[in-house]
Amino acid sequence: MKAGSRLKQVLQKGHFAVTCEMGPPKSAQIQGMLAKARAVKGYVDAVNVTDCQSAVVRLSSLAGAVHLLREGLEPVLQVTCRDRNRIAIQSDLLGAYSLGIRNVLCLTGDHQRFGNHPTAKGVFDLDSVQLVNIVKGFSERRIFANGEPIKEGAPDYFIGAVENPFSGPLELRVLRLEKKIRAGAAFIQTQAVFDLERFKRFMSLVRDRGLDEKCFILAGVIPPKSERAAIFMRDKVPGISVPDDIVTRLRNAADPKQEGIRIAKELISAVQSIEGVSGVHIMAIGWEEVVPQLVSETGLYPRPA
Amino acid sequence: MSSFKPKIIAFCCYNCAYAAADLAGTMRLQYDPCVSVIGVPCTGAIDLTTVLTAFEEGADGVFIAGCLKGECHYKVGNLRALERVKYLKRVLSEAGIDGDRLEMYFLSAAMGSRFAEIAKEMTDRIRGMGPLPLNGCPEEGEGK
Amino acid sequence: MIVAERKPLAEIVAALGKCRKVLVVSCSGCTAVCFTGGAKQAEVLASSIRMHYRVAGVPVNTGTVAVTRQCDREFLQPIEHRLTGVDAVVSLACGVGVQFLAEAFADLWVVPALNTRFAGGRVGTTLWEERCRMCGDCILHLTGGICPVTRCSKSLLNGPCGGAAGEHCEIDSSIPCAWIHIYERLKRAGRLELWQKLQQPKDWSRGNAGGLGRLAREDYSE
């Protein structure tokens, strides 16, 4: 068995962690993704590989994660409950661990209606909390979901989950976070933070319940590319809230891209100063080449060895 | 098409349109004799199947004439009839029959000349459409 | 009850093909209650079929017969005498009734006139909504009487997903988020501890994932 999760070590040593995200291609051609991977190498501690995000068919997250490993990057394997039942998911997780993947992020998954196969049957055999608990069962109790023992080689993943502080009643989100932590989540990546005030209120409730002591929270940051992109996220992406002043800044900017970078850097610095936030998760959505700049210009480069 | 003599059934509410049809007669207003008036206690009492039977048994057009909106003696009978007419238009067009062969009108007992106008309007409309496409094909005995 | 919708006429007549003597069988059970499969709808459908074929220049012979419940063998036997010489029956029952009808008369060609949609009820003048997914393992006592299996678009058992927009489901802003409603109801009842309890993966084998559903009643005898 190969070494454990580096992301886990970085967080446990108390460093402010940096992760980013990559969507595999809608083809079997991996070169483009590898070029982006090379660009961010050394600037991030781990890279999430999305699992058919927005329910669009893409190269599998498992294959994408293995490609990143070969490039010398540490992947975070995203696993959704939308497309696979408990048999397939556990099977993939055994396979992924055998290939050297050490981080897993458990998600429910966007509904298939949003994707390019809206007539598909959604699986949702498990929900994300149950999935976290099953992966926890692998390492803690060495059992499968059915309670059967894993006789040898039980995977010991660094288990992540997501939380969206911007959707529905705030206290409900905190209770849900707590549930995920109790189920076994060791790190949390949040939905993109634009609304800092709400995020601060969320973090204060998180601290009140001592949840920041029980898991590492990485705040999500999306560098907005343009006013249009910001409006699209605000209006069309489920669960993202984009305050008006961000939209206005992008509208009035002479160079919207530079303004987007400025906004992202401000957000990274802002979340860094919030007590209980252990890192940042940059979701550049196709604009990954900006990640090194965001990391170095916010003083987060070089990354700890 | 000038030789075409359409058969039009007018289901008229006794409280308004039927009396209006009477008044039209008293006023000596001319309308085509192809319109046959059938009195009903309220247009809300006209069943879906009654209208379909009219078409199946040879009507080229049907109109239902009820009280003015808000004046129905049973409060909403005429509005229910309107909903049924809307639904039946869809049923007819699904079966390959122009839904405009069926229409709903609202009038009062005093509107004799309006009744004559409606009768003319429907006669012209149905004349323009020609015979009901069913009328070339005989009806088979029902299997009831 | 079972909620069903009428198939388009074109689909029904396409399924009838060359059948010329057709009997439309209504059901006075659920589909009559949701105004799709009752005696009146059977008359309208029979008339539509006749008119459709006559427009095409092909006369057909149609009739209707009402059955109290097509999903009950006892109510099917009495219509046997109506089936003589019939090329096809069009059933206005749910999928259960259509199959019971086909099973009751081995040589009968049966055409479904409805699409069976869900188990639900009427929530507006012309609106029906699903309430039960028939999972075979009811948890409504844990969720304040609101079923997340049915009413959450992802059938989540441990709270809402991250997509809920305000109080609405991410897939349709006219659908309320089931989990936000469950949360509020449990909170009002002072039973939030139920919300906090980790719901283990569900035993879907009691529902449609388990193959043909079957219920043997050993406690019951005629």
The domains of chain B are located at 8-130
Measure the CA–CA gap between A280 and A63, rounded to whole angstroms.
25
DSSP strand pairing (C114-124 vs C127-132) = antiparallel
Chain B residues with at least one Cβ partner in C under 8 Å: 47-49, 52-53, 55-56, 91-92, 94-97, 133-134, 136-144
- Binned at pLDDT 50, 70 and 90, residue C167 comes out as confident
Chain C residues with at least one Cβ partner in A under 8 Å: 153-167, 170-171, 177, 180, 183, 192, 195-196, 198-201, 204
Residue A1 counted as domain residue: no
- Binned at pLDDT 50, 70 and 90, residue B142 comes out as very low
Residue A85 counted as domain residue: yes
Share of chain A above pLDDT 90, in %: 94
| pLDDT score, position A19 | 98
For residue B20, give both structure tokens. Answer: 């209006």
pLDDT beyond 70 at B34: yes
Residue A305 counted as domain residue: no
Q: Give per-residue pLDDT as tens, C169-186.
A: 989 989 999 999 999 999
DSSP state of C68: S
pLDDT beyond 90 at C166: no
**Residue among C95, C5, C89 at smallest CA distance from C46:** C89
Judge whether A195 and A170 are in contact, CB under 8 Å: no
pLDDT beyond 70 at A107: yes
**What is the fold of C2-118?**
Rossmann fold (3.40.50)
Q: Give per-residue pLDDT as tens, A60-90.
A: 999 999 999 999 999 999 999 999 999 999 9
The long-range contacts involving B34-39, CB below 8 angstroms and separated by at least 24 positions, are: B34/B5, B34/B6, B34/B7, B34/B8, B34/B123, B35/B8, B35/B9, B35/B10, B35/B119, B35/B122, B35/B123, B36/B7, B36/B8, B36/B9, B36/B10, B37/B10, B37/B12, B38/B9, B38/B10, B38/B11, B38/B12, B39/B12, B39/B13, B39/B14
Per DSSP, helices labelled H in C69-159 are 73-76, 95-104, 148-151
Query: Cβ-count burial of B122 within 10 angstroms (0-12 exposed, 13-18 middle, 19+ buried)?
Result: buried
Mean pLDDT for the stretch of residues A184-190? 98
DSSP state of C14: H
- Closest partner residue to C62 (CB to CB) among B97, B137, B143 is B143
Do A168 and C180 make contact, defined as CB atoms within 8 angstroms? yes
Query: Cβ-count burial of A139 within 10 angstroms (0-12 exposed, 13-18 middle, 19+ buried)?
Result: middle
* Region(s) of chain C under CATH 3.40.50: 2-118
Mean pLDDT for the stretch of residues A283-289? 92
The 10 Å Cβ neighbour count of residue B143 is 19
DSSP state of C193: H
Angle between helical axes of A227-236 and A244-252 (0-180°, round to 10): 160
| pLDDT score, position A2 | 57
Kindly report the CATH number that applies to the domain delimited by B8-130.
Answer: 3.40.50.960
Judging contacts by C-beta atoms under 8 Å, the chain C residues touching residue B53 are 47
Residue A76 counted as domain residue: yes
Q: Give per-residue pLDDT as tens, C30-72.
A: 999 999 999 999 999 999 999 999 999 998 999 999 999 999 9
Cis peptide before A302 (omega within 30 of 0): yes
| pLDDT score, position C162 | 86
- Binned at pLDDT 50, 70 and 90, residue B143 comes out as very low
Judging contacts by C-beta atoms under 8 Å, the chain A residues touching residue C167 are 168
| pLDDT score, position B126 | 97
Sheet-wide strand order for C110-112: C61-67, C21-27, C88-91, C110-112
Residue A303 counted as domain residue: no
Do C154 and A168 make contact, defined as CB atoms within 8 angstroms? no
Number of H-type helices and E-type strands within chain C: 8, 9
pLDDT beyond 90 at B1: no
Q: Which amino acid is located at C106 in the chain?
A: A
Do C171 and A111 make contact, defined as CB atoms within 8 angstroms? yes
| pLDDT score, position A1 | 44
pLDDT beyond 60 at C80: yes
**What mean pLDDT is reported for chain A?**
96
Using left for φ > 0, alpha for ψ between -120 and 50, and beta otherwise, residue C74 falls in alpha
Measure B113 CA to nearest chain C CA, in Å: 35
3 state DSSP class of C183: helix
The answer, yes or no, to whether B and A have at least 3 beta-carbon pairs within 8 Å is no
| pLDDT score, position C163 | 80
pLDDT beyond 60 at A47: yes
How many domains, chain A?
A: 1
Judge whether A1 and A94 are in contact, CB under 8 Å: no
Residue A301 counted as domain residue: no
CATH number at residue A288: 3.20.20.220
Where in the sequence is the domain holding A247, given as residue range(s)?
Answer: 6-296
pLDDT beyond 70 at C165: no
- Closest partner residue to C161 (CB to CB) among A108, A145, A182 is A108
| pLDDT score, position A168 | 83
